[in-house]
Chain A
Amino acid sequence: MLPRAFDYYNPSSLAEAAALLKKHGGEAKILSGGHSLVPLMKLRFASPAIIIDLNSIAGLDYLKEEGGMLKIGALARESALESSAVIKKSFPILADAAKVIADPLVRNRATIVGNLAHGDPANDHPAVMLALGAELVATNGKKERVIHVNEFFLGTLETALKEDEILKEVRVPIPPAKSGGAYLKIERKVGDFAIVAVAAQVTLDDKGQIKTAGIGLTNVGPVPIKATAAEAALVGKLPNESVYAEAGRLAADASKPASDNRAPADYKKSMVREFTIRALRLAVGRAQGGK
């Protein structure tokens, strides 16, 4: 399958890329890993006249700890998550996600930042970043703008990025001690989108009570969902099965799945409830020092 014809640019700086984006306005699309965009172009669901490829820009492929933050550059591949020491130490939620995003060949190309910029509620990083409270850094080549992940996803394939902005980085605060997270996904087979997936991140206080909680839901609505009522119900509680069950019920209430060829909507809601419970159980266990 061939996409419609387009003109191709591979600028060597973000400023140059942003200038091209500004010049071509809505005609242009940014290409990083390309594993969401290229399939859409081959199916002609998307037919941009201009492609601006970021892959020739040096220095964007970082995944590092700096100033108490995890910083992920626009060209860091999904596979980088699998070998990163900071992920292993501080972000079990991202280690979980890294194993279930597409397949190993796709992960060698696909980028974490692109997974967010695409704005697809079926992608995995949006829910993870909602649970983690990430910040996204956009640039128009002249100035940068920090957008909190809670304000980033506006609709299906629609984000808070302006027409002349490129997403250049995602930043996540390194969780304090007694934190843990988990990402659990039901998929029909490797490489498919989630039927349902749940991201959970918790921090416990000195008494073992839940101090903060983040819950993100994948592919159960037109946008990635932050289950705020479930999060609020967890704060200040000693973690136990009845607390998880209540959070699961509230997360299911927050989901808005559609019936499709993956599963009927009521099944998906039930799975949001159950997987929220399981993800919380795992996240709390990890926060308490377990695996």
Chain B
Amino acid sequence: MSKKEITITVNGTAHTASVEPRMLLTHFIRDVMRQTGTHVGCDTTSCGACTVSLEGQSVKSCTIFAVQADGKSIVTVEGLAQNGALHPIQEAFKEHHALQCGFCTPGMMLSAVGLLQRNPNPTEDEIRWGISGNLCRCTGYQNIVKAIQDAAGKMPKGVKL
């Protein structure tokens, strides 16, 4: 079983490593790159804690092999803030107290950004369906939905993850 050398651009920086093909993208991010903002929750494609943006699409990084992201760009929660300023989704989560324990938050925000890039002005119903792949055990979702509604009008123009 041979290793493969891959290069993945994470938050704008290219990283090259030799990995086993069975390594999941989430482990590449956490264990190889030591960027631990991307969480492993259920590890069974259910909870969305591992959500990252892969070429502009929100995906569950526990269900993609790292070798599949070779040559591609991903954005994790560490890549949301720019030049020391929080991303509008981060500001909105802070403002609306859209988290308690914070475990689902990185995935929830990446999922929300993916939704807002596709649909800049979602209805409450569309937001609830849009984050239905992300589980939160603390908030009951109310403040998460409010935060996403708030961030909807404040997304940076012309900037895509």
Q: Which residue numbers of A lie inside 8 Å of B, CB to CB?
A: 1-8, 10, 31, 34-35, 38-39, 41-43, 51, 53, 55, 79, 99, 102-106, 108-109, 190-191
Contact check, A38 vs B132: say whether CB atoms are below 8 A apart: no
Interface string of B57-81 (1 = CB under 8 A from A): 1111001110110000000000000
CA distance A93 to B77 in the complex (A): 37
Contact check, A53 vs B68: say whether CB atoms are below 8 A apart: yes
Contacts of B68 in A (CB 8 A): 10, 31, 34, 53, 55
Contact check, A8 vs B129: say whether CB atoms are below 8 A apart: no
Contact check, B63 vs A34: say whether CB atoms are below 8 A apart: yes
CA distance A97 to B76 in the complex (A): 30
Contact check, B2 vs A104: say whether CB atoms are below 8 A apart: no
Interface string of B119-161 (1 = CB under 8 A from A): 0000000000111111000000000000000000000000000
Whether B105 is near chain A, meaning CB under 8 Å from some CB there, is: no
A5 to B, closest residue via Cβ: B1
Q: For the complex formed, measure the closest distance between the CB of A6 and the CB atoms of chain B, giving whole angstroms.
A: 6
CA distance A141 to B60 in the complex (A): 32
Contact check, A39 vs B63: say whether CB atoms are below 8 A apart: yes
Listed stretches B7-15, B44-52, B94-102; interface member:
B44-52
Given A2-B22, A8-B21, A191-B46, are A109 and B64 neighbors across the interface (CB < 8 Å)?
Answer: yes
Q: For the complex formed, measure the closest distance between the CB of B46 and the CB atoms of chain A, giving whole angstroms.
A: 6
Contact check, A1 vs B22: say whether CB atoms are below 8 A apart: no
Given A104-B132, A108-B58, are A5 and B22 neighbors across the interface (CB < 8 Å)?
Answer: yes
Contacts of A43 in B (CB 8 A): 44
Q: For the complex formed, measure the closest distance between the CB of B160 and the CB atoms of chain A, giving whole angstroms.
A: 15
Q: For the complex formed, measure the closest distance between the CB of A24 and the CB atoms of chain B, giving whole angstroms.
A: 14
Contacts of B67 in A (CB 8 A): 8, 10, 53
A37 to B, closest residue via Cβ: B63
Contact check, B2 vs A38: say whether CB atoms are below 8 A apart: no
Contact check, B132 vs A39: say whether CB atoms are below 8 A apart: no
Contact check, A105 vs B111: say whether CB atoms are below 8 A apart: yes
Contact check, B21 vs A105: say whether CB atoms are below 8 A apart: no
Contacts of B132 in A (CB 8 A): 103-104, 190-191
